[in-house]
Structure 1
Amino acid sequence: MEENQTMVTEFILLGFCLGTRIHQVLFGLFLLCFTFTLLGNGVILGLIYLEFRLHTPMYFFLANLALVDIAYACNTVPQTLVNLLDPDKPISFAGCIIQTYLFMAFAVTECLLLVVMSHDRYVAICYPLHYTVIMNWRVCVILALAFWIFSFLLALVHLVLILRLPFCGPHEINHFFCETLSVLKLACADITLNKIIIFTASVFILVGPLCFVLVSYTRILMAILRIQSKGGSRKAFSTCSSHLCVLGLYFGSAIIMYVAPKSQHPKTEQKIPFLFYSFFSPMLNPLIYSLRNTEVKGALRRALGKETHSQLLM
């Protein structure tokens, strides 16, 4: 029986199946989002690297977030753009599996990073006098290395569980990229173990950290309300509210995808959370987290001022 099975060597991404004209509109929109993602996060990385005043734990984690967003977008968006222009163009089995692995790794990395960043803000606002002791550089580097290594190891577990499965057809993935659950549906074997591991990991990575984040920001909010200075409380509240927007977008989309019960809506509607997760979140993160920040805007003005001055001298 197994000898008569033909193993799949490539997949077809069905994408959105909305017609050529709408695909062209989506191509332009997604390309614009991708460009802003690369530019926004690239500017953040450059400013943090060049500006000595931004060499603090907060911006160290923001640099990691920008790096994750760039890598995340580069992993999923180019293939989606190609698929919008040529829906029949296949993706190789190896390329699809690599995309699945990197998608999981970067998603977990960003989740853990957002949790660490919320803890950083909690310490900065609630324990300002002890901030430099608690969030020293040694702790920050260890945390960064820990969540990067853990994320790729956890994704490796999912990868091994996927590779043990035979794929003998069909070869059409009902998604715009090689999303884990969509790939598993094409396996010619029982995927119960894979689903259990994914659900367990999702609860551990999403629900647990989300509870931790909510507790942290509840305490932050209480500390903000006790601030006597209106300017200080307004600045702290603005920073935390922007962070909560990112957290709500990220965790909300992820929980809908992997933890919440599957809805009976059409497959196209079920892909909408992935659009926020894959396209809009990496684009909005630098705007919400960094470019609204006074110190970052000051560093950007200084950088532009230096460039303008150097051009005048030339």
Structure 2
Amino acid sequence: MRIIFMGTPEFAVPTLDALIAAGHDLAAVYCQPPRPAGRGKARRKSPVQHSAEAAGIEVRTPASLRDPGAQQEFAALGADVAVVAAYGLILPEPILAAPRHGCLNVHGSLLPRWRGAAPIQRAILAGDEWTGVCIMGMERGLDTGPVYAVRDTPIDRKSAGALTTELAAIGAALMAEVLDALPRLQPTPQPEQGVTYAAKIAKDEARLDFSQPATLVERQVRAFNPQPGAFFELGGERIKILSAEAIDDSSATPGTVLDDRLAIACGEGAIVPGLVQRAGRGAMSAAELLRGFAIPPGTSLA
């Protein structure tokens, strides 16, 4: 099958790899242009661009697909289908209509729950017990298209990073199955009930709010690991909490450090950080942090 692949971050790489391994004809790979990154702000290619170039596949990085010329170049590739995974750019109607079987998207939620930009983080923050991957036929609406296949997985106490890696692998395998069944496979329209929207994560959401119950604070920690990293500030320094456990202790004002484990009182219960990270340093245990950065019991972090 002749395929155009469209994706940018690490989440999309397993799907691209699966298409290559299956022997499909990759007409081209589309990803977002290299972005300034790191302290030097040098332009850095995306994970998908690196993988595609290593495989000898043509890579295209338009800043937009609204230009008629870019749309004509896309259509001229004569693709049977476009496979999309976290591409990051809006696909105009001429792009959606160009491939013979349309555009199929790897979406990291159980649609219609969590349509939008941050489905994995939002599922964790909401306390959902399950999430998964849908292979969806793309249309003009925001993640409103019919679903070709779905596979679920428990969230348990996984971080967003761990869950993203798991869903990327699930999505790659599921997309391979769907492509093998095209065009015999008939998609199912999404139900009108149960729609929720996964808004893009704002930076200020990662600031820990210890007035909330410990269970919600712990979800913040998992939802924002690895990016942008849930944090509190002390002495002008931002300290990220990368993992934590919620406990029942609620004997102090929210935001108060309770003991030499760095347990922190919340609106209900408390959290005990596992891994933490100071600015510009690597991850370390809470005990390692406290050996070089004193935060005595009674300290207020609110």
TM-score tier, shorter chain, comes to under 0.3
More helix by share: 1
Q: Calculate the TM-score normalised by the size of structure 1.
A: 0.26
TM-score (norm 2): 0.26
Higher strand share: 2
